[in-house]
């Protein structure tokens, strides 16, 4: 088995998956701003699927390390040590390609973190807007409101309001 080409294949796959996750994370911003809850749920499910695939790719690296450490009856070593040994065995050209892949993945992860921070801020703002709206509705007619702070119908207040108008 050519461990160098296998590690590059796995990292290329991880790069593609991280790019997909960045795309989905950025797409979430628009649906958050538009209030499209169903669209947001679809994008979150897609992000979760992509994260699962990224975990699978990382498991693939660990499996590769395990196969490498078990070759030719060698004593088992830690996955990190095995991966380090594989990387140490790479040619200069392969090492440069590995560094480029690693740097690209790291850059995408920084972009995902930034997009997630913006999405979290937008979600907090949306929740605050909803809470303020519900609070305004609940306080619109003072103590006689039929809505609780959470926007639910207060049965006692509703019954009282119906009795007063009857």
The mean pLDDT of 83-101, rounded to a whole number, is 89
Q: Is residue 114's pLDDT more than 90?
A: yes
- Name the 3-class secondary structure at 70: coil
End-to-end CA distance of the chain: 85
Domain annotation for the chain: domains and CATH numbers: 3-126 (1.20.58)
Residues 9-66 pLDDT 10s? 999 999 999 999 999 999 999 999 998 999 999 999 999 999 999 999 999 998 888 8
79-88 and 3-34 helices cross at what angle (nearest 10)? 110
Residues 133-161 pLDDT 10s? 877 776 665 554 555 555 565 565 555 55
Task: Give this prediction's pTM.
Answer: 0.74
């Amino acid at each position: 088995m050519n461990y160098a080409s296998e590690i590059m294949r796995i990292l290329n796959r991880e790069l593609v998956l991280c790019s997909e996750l960045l795309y989905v994370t950025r797409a979430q911003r628009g649906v958050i701003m538009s209030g499209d809850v169903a669209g947001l749920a679809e994008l979150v499910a897609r992000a979760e699927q992509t994260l699962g695939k990224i975990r699978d790719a990382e498991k693939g690296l660990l499996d590769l390390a395990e196969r490498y450490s078990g070759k030719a009856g060698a004593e088992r070593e830690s996955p990190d040590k095995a991966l380090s040994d594989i990387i140490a065995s790479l040619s200069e050209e392969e090492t440069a390609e590995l560094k480029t892949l690693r740097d690209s993945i790291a850059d995408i992860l920084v972009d995902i973190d930034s997009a997630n921070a913006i999405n979290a801020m937008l979600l907090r703002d949306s929740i605050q807007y909803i809470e303020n709206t519900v609070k305004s509705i609940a306080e619109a007619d003072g103590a006689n409101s039929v809505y609780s702070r959470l926007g639910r119908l207060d049965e006692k207040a509703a019954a009282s309001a119906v009795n007063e108008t009857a």
